[in-house]
Structure 1
Amino acid sequence: MFEDPREALRLIEREQVNTIREVTPDPRLMYWPWGLTWLISFGLSFLRYGPEGRVLVDFPEWVPLSAMTGLLIVAGIFTGIVGARSGRHISGPSSRQGAMYGVSWSVGFTGLAVVFGQVGESLPEHLAGLLWGGGMVALVGVLYMAGAAIWQLRDMFVLGAWISGVNVIGVLLGPGWHALLIAVAGGGGMLVAGFVGWWRLR
């Protein structure tokens, strides 16, 4: 038994903090893979398909898409493993929420891919690229905000709103500029969010 109630309270608080750290994945490991993916892949897209159709760096056309596809797969597998390891001690409603949220990402991206695959064929190449890039990034922003509403995470909501705003500005500016904004402000925003989340978790 504790003679001092304050000592017991401090012990409880320490255990609560330790529990939160154990079940909460490192934000850097959840955000940085995606931030780097956007920074690299959209950066390559900007260099190859610049504003007004300019080619800033003349490398093969398949490089940006291939880089994005490969990096997305690696980031998805990596963050999936990190999330699964952090959630292995969680059960009940929270576990179901996480599972349903994860499925929502897959369903959302699959649905958009089918729609864009049909619509994009009738658009010029530069507009088809803007449709794919703008649509997918818009979905990411909305899903981040939805996840923030589920788990009451203000930082995650701010990130989703930031990505959504940057995406809208990029789409209005047009092809080339959209890729640059998403690479720098979108990918960079994820890198900053990962660092801020890690710092607060400490």
Structure 2
Amino acid sequence: MGAALAAATIATVILSVRGARGLRGPTSFQAGMYGASWALGFLIMGILSVLIGRAVDDFWVRGMLINSVAVLIVGLLYVTGGTTFNDQRQCYLGLWLLVVTITALLSGPNHFLAVFLYLGSAGLLAGSVTEYLATRRRRPAAVNHA
């Protein structure tokens, strides 16, 4: 698991650096701050996870708290990224994740994971399909040179 996370982190950094090449001015600043927010948000998440792990004895409540904070960070950063880069689909996905987190917390530790499984994954799948279809519409038709 550690090796997979390290590989994912390295790949993300490489892709982000490649994608940011050529960005100048306000766009460069926005992208840099947005990327730093993700990194710092999850550094804080790691520290909070350790503290929650030490303070909360109940396994299910501990898991519920740690996962809710993680999804809170992701949801807020999606909304922030969507507003920063004028991407409505990203905003809606972030809001959906926040609503799912509220619903999962209110359902309690016995149903928390089921709420995330059904509502969270459905929202992510819907977002993926929507983005795929939007990307297909923006892409110019292939030219046949035969």
TM-score band by shorter chain is 0.7 to 0.9
Deviation at 1:79, TM superposition (A): 4.2
The answer on 1:168 being equivalent to 2:121 is no
| Map 1:176-191 → 2, pairs under 5 A | 176-191=110-125
Q: TM-score, normalised by structure 2?
A: 0.77
How far, CA to CA, are the matches of 2:25 and 2:66 in structure 1?
Answer: 37
State the Cα distance separating 1:168 from its structure 2 match: 1.0
Q: Quick check: 1:135 aligned with 2:69?
A: yes
Work out whether 1:157 is the aligned partner of 2:95: no
1:118 aligns with 2:51: yes
Quote how far apart the aligned CAs of 1:181 are: 2.6
| 1:165/1:70 CA distance change after superposition, 3 Å | farther
Please give the secondary structure, in 1, of the residue aligned with 2:109.
coil
Identity of aligned residues (%): 28
Q: Gaps (5+ residues) in structure 2?
A: 139-146
Whether the 8 Å contact between 1:121 and 1:128 is mirrored in structure 2 is no
Q: Deviations over 1:48-94 (max 9, x none)?
A: xxxxxxxxxxxxxxxxxx5xx66655544444444433332322211
Q: Deviations over 1:161-202 (max 9, x none)?
A: 000001111111122522233234323422332332232233
How far has the Cα of 1:127 moved from its partner? 0.9
Structure 1 segment 12-23 matched on structure 2, within 5 A: none
TM-score, normalised with respect to structure 1: 0.58
Do the aligned partners of 2:52 and 2:66 also contact (CA within 8 Å) in 1? no
1:18 equivalent in structure 2: none
| Bigger Rg, which one | 1
Runs of 4+ in 1 over 6 A off after TM superposition: none
**RMSD of Structure 2 on Structure 1 (CA):** 2.3
Aligned residue identity for 2:102: V
Q: Aligned partners of 2:92, 2:126: CA distance in 1, in Å?
A: 12
Which consecutive unaligned segments of at least 5 residues does structure 1 have? 1-65
